[in-house]
A = this chain, B = another copy of it.
Amino acid sequence: MNFKDMDVVSIRDFSREQIEEILERSRQMLPYARGEKISKALEGKILGNLFFEPSTRTRLSFESAANRLGARVIDVSQTSETSMVKGETLADTIRMVEAYSDVIVLRHPHEGAARLAARFSNKPVINAGDGAGSHPTQTLLDLFTIEEELGNIEGMNVTLLGDLKYGRTAHSLAEALTVLGAKLTFVAPETLQMPKETVDRVKQLGGSPLITSDIEGIISSVDVLYVTRIQRERFPDPAEYQKVAGTYRVDREMLREAKKDMIVMHPLPRIDEIAPEVDSTPHAKYFKQAFNGIPVRMALLTLVLGVEV
């Protein structure tokens, strides 16, 4: 398989084999990501970070990944500054960044922006989130974390918990997990359940997700508890929000029924969804998950730039 010059727009663009190859490459990247080994694989390469909305974690993670491999980063993330304010089209902005770099990382508030950018750029474009669209590097680091922690994805009971309606992360992840053979449970208040479109797609891909609003009833069979934030703004009634937030808050109490090696994940930043008391339990893997953004992005950068490590 050859990833050279590929754009990374959506996780859907990758076959199961390609995803596995990326995860394998990510594993090779671990000692470099930790700074235990030094690589100059990307020396002389420039990554152009083009962020039309802030996303500190994603931006820094790409910066760190590039730097760990000897590449340099130029940053167009001060969005108020970009020529866009003067009325420049995305196509022209992309051509500018393309002229100054070897690979473009794009974050954009509008769905479809990454696909459009990829069409205008001769250099590879990596989608770092485009509105309600995709965020494939987040999905890949989630998959990598499960495989690293549990040794396998196939057959695992992965429970997505929280706001599954608006949480973009959950949609792509559900599809990709199904492709890789995980068993899914969707736990959310009724008004925030997984959209029919995603449920249908999971079924088409061969999955048969369990859909419920009751976390207590299923917690003992979960291998991966993937928590997403429930935003206060989704509820017209504050009392309703409080009730829901309380029910789904992960704390030591909730974890008492969990399998010993169940892992808790969260795309971060978290607010109240996971109690700080969980941090010191062996279940807590969300900080490691954040770190895993580095080896996964290193893997993608080396693959699309066609560089051996």
Task: Identify the A interface with B (CB < 8 A).
Answer: 35, 38, 43-46, 48, 54, 56-57, 60-61, 63-64, 67-68, 72, 74, 76-78, 80-83, 86-89, 91-93, 95-97, 99-102, 268-271, 276, 287, 290-291, 293-294
| Contact of B44 with A271 in the complex, beta carbons under 8 Å | no
Which residue of B has the minimal Cβ distance to A271?
Answer: B87
Contacts of A67 in B (CB 8 A): 46, 72, 74
B residues within 8 A CB of A64?
46, 74, 100-101
Question: Measured between C-beta atoms, what is the minimum distance from A302 to chain B in Å?
Answer: 15
- Quick one: closest B residue to A101, CB to CB? B64
Inter-chain contact B46/A270, CB cutoff 8 Å: no
A156 to chain B, nearest CB (A): 24
Enumerate chain B residues within 8 angstroms of A91, measured Cβ to Cβ.
276
B96 touches A290 (CB 8 A): yes
Contacts A54-B81, A88-B269 known; A99 to B290 CB distance under 8 Å?
yes
Contact B269 A92, beta carbon cutoff 8 Å: yes
Closest CB-CB distance, A107 to chain B, in whole Å?
11
Q: Out of B35, B87, B88, B268, which one reaches A102, CB within 8 Å?
A: B35
Chain B residues with CB below 8 A from A78, complex form:
54, 77-78
Give the shortest distance, in Å, between A249 (CB) and chain B (any CB). 15
Please tell me if the beta carbons of A82 and B56 are within 8 angstroms of each other in the complex.
yes
Contact call B100/A269, Cβ cutoff below 8 A: no
Excluding A56-B76, A60-B96, A100-B294, 16 further A-B contacts by CB distance (< 8 Å) are A38-B43, A44-B68, A46-B67, A56-B83, A60-B76, A60-B100, A61-B100, A63-B100, A67-B72, A86-B271, A92-B270, A93-B269, A95-B287, A96-B290, A99-B291, A99-B294
Out of B61, B88, B290, name the residue touching A270 (CB < 8 Å): B88
- Closest chain B CB from A267 CB (angstroms): 11
Within the complex, the shortest CB–CB distance from A252 to chain B, in Å, comes to 18
Task: Contacts A38-B43, A44-B38, A269-B92 given; indicate if A83 touches B57 (C-beta within 8 A).
Answer: yes
Q: A46-B68, A56-B82, A72-B67 are in contact. Are A96 and B38 (CB under 8 A)?
A: no
Find chain B residues with CB under 8 A from A97 CB: 60
A128 to chain B minimum Cβ distance, whole angstroms, is 14
A293 to B276, CA, bound (A): 38
Query: Which 4 residue pairs of A and B lie closest in terms of their CB atoms, listed nearest first?
Result: A38-B44, A54-B81, A99-B291, A88-B269
**Inter-subunit contact B269/A83 (CB<8 Å):** yes
A93 to B101, CA, bound (A): 29
Q: Which residues of B contact A88 (CB under 8 A)?
A: 268-271
